[in-house]
């Protein structure tokens, strides 16, 4: 199978999606951020706010901004006008927050990279806001959870 982002001379190129039909596309990605127990307790006690401001609200804004800027960060990602981008941040266990980014649009290409970037940037914003509390904060398990539209749908099992 010929790589899709390489031309006949082996040079990198953007994939031409002009011939593909416009269809409804959606992708959802998740990241987890893990806090040491004392940091988790401190965040709860402070109402999830730190000296830099409200952690969750700021991370939601950062995640949406990240999803919208994906083509500026990842080579050959098509610039897409997103119809919707939702970031949800919720506890997923003791000292663990799950960040969920769901992106939707009508387009000729998928939005997996936008969902992954949105989840990653939201996690990075949480880390940035909380890093003064501990360098032991960990971002882990960035992954695609589901996608619909295009050649094939995908749904991660056992989550």
Out of 7, 83, 100, 128, the active site residue is 128
Catalytic, 16? Answer no
Going from the C-alpha of 76 to that of each of 15, 48, 73, 79, 109, the distances in angstroms are 8, 37, 9, 9, 12
**Token representation of residue 16:** 């031409």
DSSP characters over the chain: ---TTB-TTS-B-----TTSPPEEEEEEEEEEEE--HHHHHHHHHTTSEETTEEHHHHHHHHHHHHHHTHHHHSTTPPP---SEEEEEEEE-STTEEEEEEEEEEEESS--HHHHHHHHHHHHHHHHHHHTTT-TT-EEEEEEEEEEESSS--EE-S--
Q: Which residues are catalytic?
A: 128
């Amino acid at each position: 199978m010929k790589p899709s982002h390489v031309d006949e001379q082996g040079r990198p190129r953007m994939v031409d999606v002009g011939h593909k039909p416009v269809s409804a596309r959606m992708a959802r990605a998740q990241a987890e951020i893990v806090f040491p127990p004392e940091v988790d307790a401190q965040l709860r006690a402070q109402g999830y706010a730190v000296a830099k401001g409200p952690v969750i609200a700021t991370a939601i804004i950062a995640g949406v901004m990240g999803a919208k800027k994906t083509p500026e960060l990842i080579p050959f990602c098509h610039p897409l006008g997103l119809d919707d981008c939702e970031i949800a941040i919720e506890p997923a266990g003791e000292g663990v927050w799950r960040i969920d980014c769901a992106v939707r649009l009508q387009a000729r290409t998928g939005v997996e990279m936008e969902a992954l970037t949105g989840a990653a940037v939201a996690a990075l914003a949480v880390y940035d806001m909380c890093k003064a509390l501990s360098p032991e904060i960990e971002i882990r398990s960035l992954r695609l959870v589901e996608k619909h539209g295009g050649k094939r749908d995908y749904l991660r099992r056992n989550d």
